[in-house]
Amino acid sequence: LVSLVLVSHSRTLVEGLREMVAQVAGDEVRVTIAGGTGDGRLGTSAPLISEAIQAAIGGPLGRADGVLVLLDLGSAALSLELALEDLDPADRAIVRVSDGPLVEGAVIAAVEASVGGSLDDVERAAAGAMSLPKMVKA
Amino acid sequence: MPDLTLTILDPSGLHTRPAARFVQVASRFESRIRIRQGDREADAKSLISLLGLTVRPSSEITLIADGPDAEAALGALTLELGPYAVVTPEVIG
């Protein structure tokens, strides 16, 4: 299955989001998180993101079919870029970064991953969340 | 092509969690499965498509399955929707 990495300035935010994702999509999809800085402040950290991506990829026995990273704002992208540069080419080849919104994208991507969707499918599902209306117009 | 019409009972309509469960069950079947509400249709195997349909409470949806396991798929999906929707009785006459 495809795994997800959730990146945010806040650890609390991604912990809560992971909980929500597991409740909607089930617990078969591996979801790792990187929230806040190494010393527990709000912010992002390339080493923490690196760890989360490695954990999402998994070892040789449980290697993911792909990894989709979803992130919040600003420096998250910069830290993520550094973390991606750290990866082996073979690992980098199966990691993609989603343009989708963090919350809706994560939930929808996880459901797509849970039914065995490919990395393309999961990436498309998360990006599609951009156009999902928040409220139905009466 | 078998189809089945259901009425949504849940006061929140077909919201995220049941919709996700529905997609997971639908994906186990080979048949192409669609949900029709009024003149709009969604792919039952895509959560984004299903949420985009915004199925409201008390509305009617029609499940349409096309493929070798179509009947089984409709059966499983009706069962899955059990707490949220009932099969609309056919009007005789």
ipTM: 0.84
Residues of B that are catalytic? 15
Q: How confident is the model at residue B56 (pLDDT cuts 50, 70, 90)?
A: confident
**C-alpha pair distances (Å), A98 with each of A72, A107, A123, B35:** 10, 13, 6, 28
CB-based contact (8 Å) between B47 and chain A? yes
CB contact under 8 A, B27 and A107: no
Q: Which residue has the higher pLDDT, B12 or B21?
A: B21
Mean pLDDT for the stretch of residues B45-50: 94
Residues 28-87 of A with CB under 8 A from B: none
Nearest to B48 among A26, A114, A125 (CB): A125
Nearest to A108 by CA among B26, B80, B23, B43: B23
Instruction: Considering the candidates A4, A5, A7, A9, report the single residue annotated as catalytic.
Output: A9
| Bridge partner residues of B65 (DSSP) | B33
pLDDT in tens, chain A (138 residues): 999 999 999 999 999 999 999 999 999 999 999 999 999 999 999 999 999 999 999 998 999 999 999 999 999 999 999 999 999 999 999 999 999 999 999 999 999 999 999 999 999 999 999 988 887 766
A112/B54 Cβ within 8 A: no
pTM confidence score:
0.91
Select the more confidently predicted residue: A13 or B2. Answer: A13
Tokens, residue A121 = 């499918």
Residue B92: which pLDDT band, with cuts at 50, 70 and 90? low
Which of A120, A124, A132, A106 shows the shortest CA–CA distance to A29? A106
- The pLDDT assigned to B83 comes to 81
Which residues from chain B sit within 8 angstroms of residue A132, using beta carbons? 48, 51-52
Closest by Cα among A68, A47, A45, A44 to A56: A68
Of B17, B20, B51, nearest to A132 by CB-CB distance is B51
